[in-house]
Structure 1
Amino acid sequence: MQGEQKPVWKDGWLQQCIHVLSPNFSRRPAQTEVSLVVLHNISLPPFEYGQQAVQRLFTNQIDAAEPDDFMRSLTGLRVSSHFLLDRDGTIIQFVSCDDAAFHAGISRFNSRDGCNAFSIGIELEGCDFEPFTPSQYTQLYALLQMLCAHYPIQAITGHQHVAPGRKSDPGHFFEWDMLRSNGLPIMTEYQWLL
């Protein structure tokens, strides 16, 4: 039908991005609301971008014959995130937001262990040691707005805040104040202590 708008979400899948299905997820526990967004950074091999290696990691396609020792060490990992934002701002979704992606590991937020059960994970292609791109921030802000409009998100935080001492991402270059100044519910305190 002409003039009919495409829905923004369908079964937890954002319709305005690339979908690459990861097998690394589980159903959320019954009656669990999605109330948290956890931000990460990732580069594979470390400090290299645009290699498609993150997509291969999240879809269990890292080859045991990889020439790089670090990449070979990842062959047994079963991890994923809901979203990846490439350096150019391209958004790729791997897991339905209605399911739990394997992104936070051992984690705690607001006296609740196991953040995967109630959070959405967003990876930004990058590292702890250099800034993210303007395109990434533009797309991240748009994505966070869509998530907050669709899910009862109460807080947006970093992996470093839900797994302190174990994780450091998204890192000290991440511009929390930019997101906070746009009215998003940013929580950068170490809520795992509560």
Structure 2
Amino acid sequence: MITVDTEGAFREMVQTTKPEGTVTINTYNTFGPFPVTIRQKILKWIAPDDPDRRVQLGLKYFPGPFKKLDKRYCGMNSKQSAYDTFGIPYEEVHTAGEVLKWFKRANVRYKGSFAPLRVRDYFYAFSLDEYKEFRSTFSGYPATQKVSDLLFKIAGKKKTSEFKTEFPYPGPFSRGVCQLMWLLIGGSRFSCFTLSGVKL
């Protein structure tokens, strides 16, 4: 998140939520945009106090992510995206494990996540009809698209009419496997993740 105290902001959000209310947080992923993080550090080293210069250099030397975004969102302004990537003054990245610790400290029960943090939950997600619409967001990410299509085929054989609103808590091993997939397959497509819980 673009804040100097993401957990503090999360605690404030929890405090203003009624008991049994749903709390949802979306934050930058430590493992997803790892190549982008390296580029950000390089450009901040070159032009620490000049966001315009960082954006200019980013578009010149690292145009790949913006071309992918253009494929996903036709007509999108690459320069605006570059400012969001290289022009921001501060950014925090977090792992799912970190955020789950915030949940525990704030007395929030885990409800679910996107992308899923348990491998088996991917099969449920890809069995939903909504996947057909969601697939378009993988344009420009061929590896992600192929893996997701494979999961969709497998999930189709196990299609269920059950609609889940809450998922089991993901263990450390499962979280590690899923976050590794985000890094190796998803890349910058999984630059953020979302966790949802219920205030107790």
**TM-score, normalization by structure 1:** 0.29
**TM-score, normalization by structure 2:** 0.28
Higher relative contact order (CA 8 A, sep 6+): 2
Structure in which a larger fraction of residues adopt helix: 2
Structure with greater Cα Rg:
2
Structure in which a larger fraction of residues adopt strand: 1
